[in-house]
Amino acid sequence: MYKFGSNGSITRMANTPFDLEIPQSSAGTAWGSVMTVDPASGLILAWNSNGTGYEFNPVANTYRTTGINAPFTPTTAGGIFNVVAAPVADHGVVIFVVSGSSSKVFLYKHSTN
């Protein structure tokens, strides 16, 4: 990941603890990662294709696992491939929309503890 400064500078950030990949699906398997921002803390949240959650603190330039696994992964029916995440700033939550044969909506409120 890279940080773009207001003065036009580009800074390489710490290496991610997992591969950041565009969600994809092939032959019944899915891989990739879902990323969004926590609107309450400003931390970047990410889940990899096995559902492990991470937070990235751009000020400290550090990653940590959250201990919160995503409810939408892993699955054999597309899993992470069918997930869209978006912050909802007015409520301090993230909404996940999962499409497919069993479409679902999840709300997530991140805690930094």
Is a pLDDT exceeding 90 seen at residue 94?
Answer: yes
Instruction: Please indicate, yes or no, if residue 92 is contained in any of the structural domains.
Output: yes
Q: Is residue 35 part of a domain?
A: yes
Q: Is residue 76 one of the residues assigned to a domain?
A: yes
Owning domain of residue 80: 2-108
In a domain, 24, yes or no: yes
Domain count, the chain: 1
Mean pLDDT estimate for the chain: 84
List, in sequence order, every residue forming a beta bridge with 84; answer none if it has no partner.
97
What contacts 85, CB < 8 A, 6 or more positions away?
A: 34, 35, 36, 45, 94, 95, 96
Residue 36 near residue 45 (C-beta atoms within 8 A): yes
Per-residue model confidence (pLDDT) at position 91: 95
pLDDT tens profile 28-61: 666 778 899 999 999 999 988 788 899 999 999 9
How many C-beta atoms surround the C-beta of residue 76 within 10 A?
Answer: 9
In-domain check, residue 113: no
Quick check: 78 pLDDT over 50? no
Domain presence at residue 69: yes
CA angle 58, 63, 65 (to 5 degrees): 135
